[in-house]
Structures are given as C-alpha cells and as structure tokens.
Amino acid sequence: MLYDLTVPAYQNGLKALSGELSKASLWGTANGIGELQFAVARLAPDMFPLASQIRFTCSQALQPLSRLGGIAVPELPDDATDFAGMQEQIAATLAVLDGVDRTALGDDMARAVSFDLPNGMVFDLSAADYVRDWAQPQFYFHRVAAYAVLRHMGVPLGKADYVAYMMRHLRPGTAPVA
C-alpha cells in the first residue's frame, strides 16, 4: 500500500517534469533563452531557482524510500547548471524508483516514522500521516514550483504537460479536436 501511494506517483510526476524540461530546452533555443538563465530562474527573490526545484523534487521522491523502507538512496548535493544535468538527476531518481521492490516499503500504515529537519525540528508521525501530510505535499510543492518557473520564463506549457501520464488512460475517441 505505501508503495502504491508513493513510487508510481513520483514516477509519473518525474517523467512529466522531464518532458517539460525537454520542451523548455527546445523553446529556449528557439527564443534565445540560455540554459543557465533557466537554471537560475525563480518565482520570487526568496524562492529557490529552477535547478534547486528539480533537485528537491528528485530528493523528495527518494526520501520516503529511506524513511519507510530503509532503502539507501543517493544524495543529489549540487544543483545542475543546464538541462542535461537536470535530466540526469531525474533519470537517476527514476532508476532508483524503478528498482524498488513493491514490498520494500511495507503495508503497516500505523507504524511510527520520525524525521528531523536541519533547523532541529523533529516530527513523529504514522506512516500514513507521513505519506499524506509530508512526503506527497513536499514532492508536489517542488514539482509545481518547477513547472511554475518554466511557465514564468514563457515556456508554453499547459495542464496536458503537467499530467502527461494521464494520456494512457484516455478513452479512445474522446480527445478534443484542435
């Protein structure tokens, strides 16, 4: 159950994010916006730039593996400076997620999960509360921030890009005609 609530969602989100970065790269080239401009772009002065949002999205997809399953996960210590580096982080994260055994995270939704933040705060939750109240919101916060930075830079993205994985569920003959 914990696997089903985390890993597939992270895989879907990361694959869509990879597609958005590919679209941004092509759009940037056509519109004279360099990769470093994208990497350092941010929504507000006190927010992290795109490259950090990508790294954090990847890290947030990996942390539940460690906290719920005791799985060793790689650290992504540095922000990428170009699209290739951001794509490499996503690919490395997907490779780890692809290798997770469905039973590795367990099914005990009530078991205790504790974690601490660098500022000294410590949280004690059940596994279900951890996934619902921390793991999922953290992943999607950084995922949405990355999408928003790309939109802010002018990349023509839409909801279909954000949820590109939904197309596999589209009933034939129901797509709108352009």
Sequence-distant (≥ 6) Cβ neighbours of residue 80 within 8 angstroms: 39, 51, 54, 55, 86, 88, 89
Report pLDDT for 177: 85
Model confidence pLDDT, tens digit, residues 10-66: 999 999 999 999 999 999 999 999 999 999 999 999 999 999 999 999 999 999 999
Confidence of residue 175 (pLDDT cuts 50, 70, 90): confident
Report pLDDT for 82: 96
Tell whether the model's pLDDT for residue 7 goes beyond 90.
yes
125 three-class SS: strand
What are the tokens at 3?
């696997």
d(CA 46, CA 152) in angstroms, rounded, equals 16
What are the tokens at 129?
């509360």
- Residue type, position 121, single letter: M
